[in-house]
C-alpha cells in the first residue's frame, strides 16, 4: 500500500466517523470504557466526580436506545444482563468474605445455586447430592489419587 492509500483508509475509518456505540461494538468493549480512557488520557488527574460530571452527554448518548419503545426486546435483554452482572458481583463479594481465593467469578447456574449456601465448598456437596439421585453421602477426605491404576497407562 502507498502512503496515500494508508492516509485515505485512516481518514475513511477515523474514530470520529463512528458513534461511541459503534466504536464500542467494534472494539468489543463497553462504549463508556472507551470514553473514560479518552477522557483520562487528556485529564490524567481527574477525580471520579469530575469524570462522572464530564460524562453526562456520553452516558445519555450511549443509553439513548434504551428509551426507544420499538426496541423493547433489546431493552429487556440488556436490563436482564445488567441484573445478572450485578447478581454475580454480589455472589463474588459474598464468596470472598467466606474465603473464596480468586479475583473473579465465572457466572454459571452452579454459582447461582451456590449463592444460597454459606461457603463455596457447599457447591461440591450440592453436586454430589444431585449426582447421587438425592442421596447425601458424608464428605470423604482424599489423601491420594491414582489415575489409571492397574492399567497399561
For the chain, domain boundaries: 1-62, 69-153
Question: Which residues lie closer than 8 Å to 136 by C-beta, 6 or more apart?
Answer: 125, 128, 129
If one compares 104 and 120, the residue with the highest pLDDT of the two is 104
**Residue range 44-71: average pLDDT?**
87
pLDDT band at 38 (very low <50, low <70, confident <90, very high): very high
Distance CA 21, CA 71 (A): 16
Question: Which residues lie closer than 8 Å to 130 by C-beta, 6 or more apart?
Answer: none
Reference 35, options 51, 17, 13, 18; nearest CA is 51
Q: What Å distances lie between residue 58 and 54, 68, 149, CA to CA?
A: 8, 17, 62
pLDDT band at 79 (very low <50, low <70, confident <90, very high): confident
pLDDT band at 96 (very low <50, low <70, confident <90, very high): confident
Q: From the CB of residue 114, how many other CB atoms can be counted at a distance below 10 Å?
A: 23
pLDDT at 114: 55
If one compares 43 and 88, the residue with the highest pLDDT of the two is 43
If one compares 147 and 109, the residue with the highest pLDDT of the two is 147
**Residue range 127-137: average pLDDT?**
85
This prediction has a pTM of 0.46
Is the pLDDT confidence value at 116 over 60? Answer: no
Amino acid at each position: 500500500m502507498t502512503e496515500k492509500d494508508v492516509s485515505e483508509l485512516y481518514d475513511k475509518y477515523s474514530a470520529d466517523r463512528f458513534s461511541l456505540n459503534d466504536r464500542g461494538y467494534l472494539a468489543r468493549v463497553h462504549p463508556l470504557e472507551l470514553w473514560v480512557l479518552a477522557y483520562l488520557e487528556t485529564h490524567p488527574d481527574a477525580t471520579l466526580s469530575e469524570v462522572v460530571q464530564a460524562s453526562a452527554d456520553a452516558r445519555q448518548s450511549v443509553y439513548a436506545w434504551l428509551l426507544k419503545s420499538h426496541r423493547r426486546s433489546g431493552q429487556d435483554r440488556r436490563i436482564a444482563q445488567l441484573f445478572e452482572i450485578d447478581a454475580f458481583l454480589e455472589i463474588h463479594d459474598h464468596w470472598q468474605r467466606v474465603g473464596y481465593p480468586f479475583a473473579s467469578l465465572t457466572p454459571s447456574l452452579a454459582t447461582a445455586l451456590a449463592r444460597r449456601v454459606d461457603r463455596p465448598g457447599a457447591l461440591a456437596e450440592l453436586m454430589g447430592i444431585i449426582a447421587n439421585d438425592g442421596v447425601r453421602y458424608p464428605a470423604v477426605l482424599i489423601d491420594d489419587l491414582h489415575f489409571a491404576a492397574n492399567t497399561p497407562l
